[in-house]
A and B are shown apart, each in its own frame.
Chain A
Amino acid sequence: MSNQKKRNIQIEAFKHKVLGDPKYADKTWKILEHAIHEIYNHNASGLSFEELYRNAYNMVLHKFGEKLYTGLVTTMTSHLKEISKSIEAAQGGPFLEELNRKWNDQNKALQMIRDILMYMDRTYIPSSRKTPVHELGLNLWRDNIIHSNKIQTRLLNTLLELVHRERTGEVIDRGLMRNIIKMLMDLGASIYEEGFEIPFLEVSADFYRVESQEFIECCDCGNYLKKAERRLNEEMDRLGHYLDARSEKKITNVVEKEMIENHMLRLIHMENSGLASMLLDDKYEDLRRMYTLFRRVPDGLQKIREVMTSHIRDTGKQLVTDPERLKDPVEFVQRLLDKKDKYDNIINLAFNNDKTFQNALNSSFECFINLNPRSPEFISLFVDDKLRKGLKGAIEEDVEIILDKVMMLFRYLQEKDVFEKYYKQHLAKRLLSGKTVSDDAERSLIVKLKTECGYQFTSKLEGMFTDMKTSQDTMQVFYASNPELGDGPALTVQVLTTGSWPTQPNVTCNLPAEMSTVCEKFRAYYLGTHTGRRLSWQTNMGTADIKAVFGKGQKHELNVSTYQMCVLMLFNNASRLTYKEIEQATEIPASDLKRCLQSMACVKGKNVLRKDPMSKDIGEDDTLFVNDKFTSKFYKVKIGTVVAQKESEPEKQETRQRVEEDRKPQIEAAIVRIMKSRKQLDHNNIITEVTKQLQSRFLANPTEIKKRIESLIERDFLERDNIDRKLYRYLA
């Protein structure tokens, strides 16, 4: 201490009033109480913050904190009571405004008081665990104003009434609403909920219940949905403006429930405007609205899906079983495609590409397409038509689009092997008559089928293409090595591998002399180069181009079938022939002969022959002769092309039988495969496994499977267990 400056460290007496004064606390409090009064009366400008702060500070410092606090409570309470009276006194409209105004005042005053009493807040309150000033203020407000009997219900009713007025279209003071609601929220979440939100939700539910009832009586589905949407948007708007965000989910739930959920079924099934008619008329906007609205309620979308599925099934069933439609297969398939497109569009545009809806669509289609057993045949005919002429001149993309769509329909088929059979037939005819529009398109479809069903499905089809190509090459070499034949009739042979092409019955036909020599030469040549093979001429599938000169010298080139050529060549040596003579000479089977004669004698514009008598049908005793008066605009005349047609009844039966026959070995192969790996299996399981394996080709019939099992047992591939008659064992 020696080095310090000479300075007396004095502890001076406190400059302010001494502790001893008992009235000190009261005096100080009086000052503060007065100040609070002034604050509440908006008279604070004359006050000195510092002085008040100092006073409060001193009171707390000198352990009068409690007095200060209780004094504060009393003073505020009495003020609030007065305020409450004045609010109650306000009538009607100004009620809310008065409340709002007083609330704002209170907040302001509260903050001022808190600032002055900051020291108490900091020190006294934590130690005595009393409520801080700000919170105290809110609580007092709540107890005296909000919970006061007169005000509470009146406040709630006024608020609800305002909301109701707005709902019915009036304009209300939204700012005021916002402030009042905010006040409730500031006072505590439970105040907001109990004092306002819950009654609000109840009232809203009632309101919407009534309104929805009204609407549904008088509006159709589309309009009702529009109204519902509008109300939803309104509520969202209201929420944004003056309700608390926490209420969002609750109020939207209320609206959804009352307006949508309760009336869902009725809306969907509404006559003339419900879901079914919307689907029929492609009302995308209405459908989209329905989708978005129903998505909000549980099960909403499911209901839509259900009704849509049954609708599609019903209309689809109508489509495939309508006898009118069945007359034109191309038209039939086109309609199917159109229908698929329509619903794809609907799902895309209105249902947000929802996968579940897509699935529902697929299953419905699968269901009704297979209701008509001729669907596979018709689809093949459709493709045939397109590949012959429909796609003529179309650009590659369009071709791909159409083929893809056809593939989609193909996938829905359960009896894919039937399709395969028909497709082979039609393809054969196309290839042999050279009628296909685009080789690329053909190949592209084969590739698609291969991707879908595997190599096995398309191997034969590809074989057909290979044969065509090979034949071309063969012909070139043939003519190159036999140049002397260049003067004779030009022969083009297509050599078809028997397994790949549809089986044909063996036919007889006597070729005219000029032809048979060339044909024999070819046969010799071919068998010379390919040993161990056998050739048989398929005269029912060939075509010929003949030059003819008619009575008046008109020259024409006729494109005819091989049979027709044989017949016509006969007339080189005779001018009149009876049916019987023709039949004998050509040895063509009767029905075919009749058909080819018919197309040459009875069809207008192609009647190169004339018949006596002039009846429509060919009778056994008819006589035919060349029609010298034949005329045609064109030089080249086409007669009797072999066109793929919808099969007649007997043909259809025959094809179906063949398909059934083909299925038998496939079933057997599947059974053997399964048993080989499982060694033993019971009856029901075999049926399930076999069906599953063959699913991609056709739907296996359990009775048929049973028969096959019996047959395999007879041939010692399987045996039955002695004890359990339903158990089978594999015999190696």
Chain B
Amino acid sequence: MTKEDTVKLISAEGFEFVIDKEAAMVSQTIHNMLTSPGSFAETEHGEVTFPEISTTILEKICQYFYWHLQFASGKETEFTIEPELTLELMMAANYLHT
């Protein structure tokens, strides 16, 4: 995984998740961010900070990205969501347009 293919997602607590760009692009927001014509700070450094998303949520989201890439074509696997995460997960999903 070269530097060019990855982005760093940083949670509110400061945890850093390094994932493929392709996975990150599942989120429309992140996609726009990275492909925006202007030179925002994120594109320069290749990292995005989410001060409002907690680590657990962010971790789940990253898992979702990969699950999506693999299984969104309609195969039967389920993506498990623990009930207590649901509310925050949905808010984050709304935010990230995923």
Contacts and interface: CB of A to CB of B under 8 A. Distances in A.
| A is bound by B | yes
Interface of A: 7, 9, 11, 15-16, 39, 44-50, 53-54, 57, 108-109, 111-112, 115, 118-119, 122
A118 B38 contact: no
A118 B40 contact: no
B42 A49 contact: yes
Contacts of A119: 95, 97
A115 B39 contact: no
A44 B43 CA distance: 11
B90 to A, nearest CB: 13
A57 B91 CA distance: 11
Contact of A108 (B37, B50, B95, B97): B37
A47 B29 CA distance: 16
B52 A16 contact: yes
A486 B51 CA distance: 136
Contacts of B41: 45-49
A108 B38 contact: yes
A119 B50 CA distance: 16
B45 to A, nearest CB: 10
A45 B51 CA distance: 20
B15 to A, nearest CB: 15
A118 B29 contact: yes
Interface in B41-98: 41-44, 48-52, 84, 87, 95, 97
A493 B26 CA distance: 109
Given A50-B48, A50-B50, A54-B95, 9 more contacts: A7-B84, A45-B41, A47-B40, A49-B40, A49-B48, A112-B36, A112-B40, A115-B33, A118-B28
**Residue among A16, A48, A49, A109 having the largest count of chain B Cβ atoms under 10 Å:** A49
Contacts of B37: 108, 111-112
Contact of A39 (B28, B38, B84): B38
Contacts of A50: 33, 42, 48-50
B18 interface: no
7 contacts: A46-B41, A48-B40, A108-B38, A111-B38, A115-B32, A115-B33, A119-B97
B40 A44 contact: yes
A109 B12 CA distance: 29
Contacts of A45: 38-41, 44
Contacts of A16: 52
Contacts, number: 62
B52 A111 contact: no
A15 B52 contact: yes
A15 B12 contact: yes
Given A45-B41, A48-B49, A49-B42, A118 B32 contact: yes
Nearest to A52: B40
Contacts of B48: 49-50
6 closest residue pairs by CB, A with B: A112-B38, A44-B38, A49-B40, A115-B32, A45-B39, A49-B33
A115 B36 contact: yes
A683 B69 CA distance: 93
Contacts of A47: 38, 40-41
A113 B26 CA distance: 21
A61 to B, nearest CB: 9
A101 to B, nearest CB: 15
B11 to A, nearest CB: 12
A107 to B, nearest CB: 8
Nearest to A48: B41
A468 to B, nearest CB: 91
Contacts of B29: 53, 118
Contacts of A11: 87
A45 B45 CA distance: 11
A126 to B, nearest CB: 14
Contacts of A48: 40-42, 49
Contact of B84 (A9, A115, A122): A9
A11 B33 CA distance: 30
A9 B41 CA distance: 37
A54 B52 contact: yes
A469 B97 CA distance: 103
Nearest to B12: A15
Nearest to A16: B52
B91 to A, nearest CB: 9
A7 B84 CA distance: 10
A118 B94 CA distance: 12
Contacts of B12: 15
Given A111-B36, A111-B37, A118-B32, A57 B95 contact: yes
A48 B28 CA distance: 17
B29 to A, nearest CB: 6
Contacts of A49: 33, 36, 40-43, 48
A122 to B, nearest CB: 7
A9 B74 CA distance: 33
B51 to A, nearest CB: 8
